[in-house]
Amino acid sequence: MSVDEKSIEERQFELDAELRRREMVLKEIDSSRTGLTTAQASVAGAVLALLSGIAGAAVTAWSTQTVEADKSVNALQIKKTEVEGNLALEASKQTAAEKLERKKFETSLILEAIKTPSRADAIRNLKFFVAAGFVADDEGRIKGLSDESLPSIGPPSVFGSTSSSDRDPLHLHPELRNKIAVLLQNLKAEGLQFEIGDGFRSPTVQLAFFAEGRLDDGPRITNAKPWSGMHNFGLAADLVQIKDGKPYWGPDVSGYKRMHALAKELGLKLQEAPFADMPHVELDNVSISDLRAGKYPAGGDISWAKHLAWTIQNWTKVVSAIQAWGPDLPNAPTPPSASN
Ligand SMILES: [Zn+2]
């Protein structure tokens, strides 16, 4: 029986069953705030392999941590008989919510894959996920990945990123990162190209922005001091429309309006007009005072948490160093003048 011949009820049942399994794995992933352990990852891999109906060889190849995996595989083997042909469902039309679940999976697996000290192993893990169908790689980016091009999660410089636009999605909270990934995909499907123009913003850059119009005569561009905007916590991003390969800011704002509508569907919060704020999207139901008190949105993964923790630590170091060095810092030198 082909997928098309299945009744709506049958497909609904399969979908529900698959979503329940996905939730199960997600719960397992969530239970470890710093990411998956190898054993958890192998279980996740085994579950996903079963879902895709490619168990056998793939699971064996996945990991040497077979003891934990085997236990779960046995339990899941029973469940497996309940659901057949889930692979076809992947090809069927997915709702935004399903895509998001899928993206969460992929992100967790990708981050787990690159957490090994060996870059060669990391690439092999990534390619395995792609080959096994766990991670979508429509544009063949992972397939063509070489050792040099693999992203690594390293500490930022002590003064923080001095680039005014940090576009690294790994510095964003995974909930925002995943929603943006789905949003960009949905926009692309409608022929609209957007990209992250600005994501995480270091306190150093925020300070520089705050100084504009206060230490000079130019216009003020923000009222937010360091640590008082969502960008500073990796919980906001500015999505810029790309037209003819270049950032597009108007006058036609229909693309941005469509981006807003699709962002709302995913539960993202917007800054409505004026136009200058149109690219901005952020996580909803988060307060800065909670953030400053260390109450962060649930589900933070290792790349977001580590990067933010490093940044906070560095900021503390820099501020206290400048205070401590204060009396010892030299007076400003006399500036030069040009000879003509
Ligand atoms: Zn913004």
Largest CA distance in the chain: 87
* Same domain, residue pair 89 and 174: no
Residue 239 has φ and ψ, to the nearest 5°, of -100, 120
Which of the residue ranges 165-169, 184-188, 190-194, 315-319 has the most confident prediction, judged by mean pLDDT?
Answer: 190-194
Non-local CB neighbours of 310 within 8 Å, separated by 6+ positions = 155, 156
According to DSSP, residue 169 is labeled G
Residue 210 clears pLDDT 50, i.e. is over it: yes
Residue 270 clears pLDDT 70, i.e. is over it: yes
Residue 73's pLDDT band, with cuts at 50, 70 and 90, is very low
* Same domain, residue pair 42 and 122: yes
Q: How far is the centre of ligand 1, averaged over its atoms, from the C-alpha of 200 (Å)?
A: 9
Q: What is the CATH number of the domain that holds 201?
A: 3.30.1380.10
In this prediction, what percent of the chain has a pLDDT beyond 90? 25
Q: Choose between 21 and 200: higher pLDDT.
A: 200
What is the chain's mean pLDDT, rounded?
73
Residue 24 clears pLDDT 50, i.e. is over it: yes
Q: How far is the centre of ligand 1, averaged over its atoms, from the C-alpha of 182 (Å)?
A: 19
Token pair 């060889």: residue: 57
* Same domain, residue pair 138 and 262: no
Residue 111 clears pLDDT 80, i.e. is over it: no
* Same domain, residue pair 244 and 292: yes
Residue 327 clears pLDDT 70, i.e. is over it: yes
Which of 263, 264, 111, 95 lies closest to 173 in space, CA to CA? 111
Residue 70 clears pLDDT 50, i.e. is over it: no
Residue 7's pLDDT band, with cuts at 50, 70 and 90, is low
Q: Tell me what the mean pLDDT of segment 136-163 comes to.
A: 66
* Same domain, residue pair 173 and 317: yes
Q: How far is the centre of ligand 1, averaged over its atoms, from the C-alpha of 74 (Å)?
A: 48
Distances (CA, A) of 196 to 14, 137, 168, 169, 223: 35, 19, 8, 8, 22
Q: Tell me what the mean pLDDT of segment 290-303 comes to.
A: 91
Residue 62 clears pLDDT 70, i.e. is over it: no
Residue 160's pLDDT band, with cuts at 50, 70 and 90, is low
Q: How far is the centre of ligand 1, averaged over its atoms, from the C-alpha of 197 (Å)?
A: 9
Non-local CB neighbours of 282 within 8 Å, separated by 6+ positions = 176, 230, 235, 236, 237, 268, 269, 270, 271
Distance of CA 277 to the CA centre of its chain: 21
Mapped onto helix, strand or coil, the DSSP state of residue 329 is coil
Give the range of the structural domain holding residue 76, as residue numbers without chain letter. 3-149
Residue 256 CA neighbour count, 13 Å, CB half: 23
Q: Provide the phi-psi class of 227: left if phi over 0, else alpha when psi is between -120 and 50, else beta.
A: left
Q: How far is the centre of ligand 1, averaged over its atoms, from the C-alpha of 187 (Å)?
A: 19
Residue 150's pLDDT band, with cuts at 50, 70 and 90, is low
Please tell me the distance from the alpha carbon of residue 233 to that of residue 201, in angstroms, as a whole number: 8
Q: Tell me what the mean pLDDT of segment 206-210 comes to.
A: 87
Q: How far is the centre of ligand 1, averaged over its atoms, from the C-alpha of 236 (Å)?
A: 6
The answer to whether residue 142 is domain-embedded is yes
- State yes or no: cis peptide before 279, omega within 30 of 0: no
Question: In this predicted structure, what is the pLDDT of residue 156?
Answer: 66
Residues 84-108 pLDDT 10s? 334 334 444 456 777 777 777 777 7
Query: Could you tell me where the DSSP H helices lie in the chain?
Result: 8-30, 38-51, 55-62, 66-80, 86-91, 96-113, 119-131, 174-189, 203-211, 254-265, 288-292, 302-325
Q: Tell me what the mean pLDDT of segment 263-272 comes to.
A: 90
Token pair 């270049």: residue: 246
* Same domain, residue pair 36 and 83: yes
Q: How far is the centre of ligand 1, averaged over its atoms, from the C-alpha of 280 (Å)?
A: 4
Residue 230 clears pLDDT 80, i.e. is over it: yes
Residue 52 clears pLDDT 80, i.e. is over it: no
Q: How far is the centre of ligand 1, averaged over its atoms, from the C-alpha of 304 (Å)?
A: 18
Q: How far is the centre of ligand 1, averaged over its atoms, from the C-alpha of 320 (Å)?
A: 28
Question: In this predicted structure, what is the pLDDT of residue 127?
Answer: 78
Q: Tell me what the mean pLDDT of segment 187-194 comes to.
A: 94
The answer to whether residue 162 is domain-embedded is no
* Same domain, residue pair 291 and 244: yes
Q: How far is the centre of ligand 1, averaged over its atoms, from the C-alpha of 155 (Å)?
A: 23
Q: Tell me what the mean pLDDT of segment 35-58 comes to.
A: 43
Q: Tell me what the mean pLDDT of segment 258-279 comes to.
A: 84
* Same domain, residue pair 120 and 248: no
The answer to whether residue 163 is domain-embedded is no
Domain count, the chain: 2
Please tell me the distance from the alpha carbon of residue 226 to that of residue 214, in angstroms, as a whole number: 15
Q: How far is the centre of ligand 1, averaged over its atoms, from the C-alpha of 140 (Å)?
A: 31
Q: Tell me what the mean pLDDT of segment 114-121 comes to.
A: 69
* Same domain, residue pair 173 and 314: yes
Residue 162 clears pLDDT 70, i.e. is over it: no
pTM: 0.59
Residue 69 clears pLDDT 70, i.e. is over it: no
Task: Indicate the range of 196-210, 222-236, 325-339 predicted with least confidence.
Answer: 325-339
